[in-house]
């Protein structure tokens, strides 16, 4: 999936990835896509769940088996 900005949350545990994602999305222009990278499986579930409470749009989740990371995509909405 194409994206405009990337947030690397590898090595971070909950709730830090969700908090950083919210902060990053708040600085982005409407319609821009953010890709979040995490290597912490619980964050791949909690970030979409926690951000469901915001107006930002969850676009999907991808798992890269080769490097053991998840990619989470959101679109900034205001």
pLDDT of 39 > 90? The answer is yes
- For the question of residue 9 being annotated catalytic, the response is no
Q: What are the residue boundaries of the structural domains of the chain, listed by start? A: 1-56
CATH 3.40.50.300 fits 1-56, yes or no: no
Mean pLDDT of 25-46: 97
User: Of residues 3, 8, 12, 14, which has the active-site annotation?
Assistant: 14
pLDDT of 19 > 80? The answer is yes
What's the token pair of residue 12?
């971070």
Predicted structure pTM score: 0.95
Confirm if 47 and 71 have CB atoms less than 8 A apart. Answer: no
Q: In the predicted model, what is the mean pLDDT of the chain?
A: 96
pLDDT of 56 > 80? The answer is yes
pLDDT of 24 > 80? The answer is yes
37-65: b or e for each residue (b if 16 or more CB lie within 10 Å)?
bbbbeebbebbbebbeebebeeeeeeeee
pLDDT of residue 78: 76
What is the C-alpha separation between 65 and 20, in angstroms, rounded?
Answer: 24
């Amino acid at each position: 999936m194409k994206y405009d900005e990337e947030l690397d949350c590898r090595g971070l545990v909950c709730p830090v990835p969700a908090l950083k994602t919210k902060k990053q999305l708040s600085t982005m222009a409407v319609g821009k896509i953010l890709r979040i990278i995490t290597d912490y499986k619980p964050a791949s579930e909690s970030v979409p769940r926690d951000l469901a409470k915001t107006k930002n749009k969850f676009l999907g989740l991808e798992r890269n088996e080769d490097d053991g990371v998840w990619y989470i995509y959101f679109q900034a909405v205001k």
